[in-house]
Chains A and B, each alone.
Chain A
Amino acid sequence: NAGVIQTPRHKVTGKGQEATLWCEPISGHSAVFWYRQTIVQGLEFLTYFRNQAPIDDSGMPKERFSAQMPNQSHSTLKIQSTQPQDSAVYLCASSLVGTGGYEQYFGPGTRLTVL
Chain B
Amino acid sequence: GDSVTQTEGQVALSEEDFLTIHCNYSASGYPALFWYVQYPGEGPQFLFRASRDKEKGSSRGFEATYDKGTTSFHLRKASVQESDSAVYYCACHDTNAYKVIFGKGTHLHVLP
Is B49 part of the binding interface, using a Cβ–Cβ cutoff of 8 Å?
yes
Interface Cβ pair total, 8 Å cutoff: 62
Is A61 part of the binding interface, using a Cβ–Cβ cutoff of 8 Å?
no
Instruction: Please report the C-alpha to C-alpha distance between residue A55 and residue B94 in the assembled complex, in whole angstroms.
Output: 14
Is B86 part of the binding interface, using a Cβ–Cβ cutoff of 8 Å?
no
User: Given A42-B102, A104-B100, are A4 and B49 neighbors across the interface (CB < 8 Å)?
Assistant: no
Instruction: Please report the C-alpha to C-alpha distance between residue A4 and residue B89 in the assembled complex, in whole angstroms.
Output: 19
* 25 residue pairs from A and B, CB less than 8 Å apart: A4-B43, A33-B99, A35-B102, A42-B89, A42-B103, A42-B105, A43-B44, A48-B98, A50-B98, A56-B97, A56-B98, A58-B97, A91-B43, A100-B32, A100-B94, A101-B31, A101-B32, A101-B93, A102-B32, A102-B49, A103-B46, A105-B46, A106-B42, A109-B42, A109-B43
The interface of chain B, by Cβ under 8 A from chain A, is: 31-32, 34, 41-46, 49, 51, 89, 93-95, 97-105
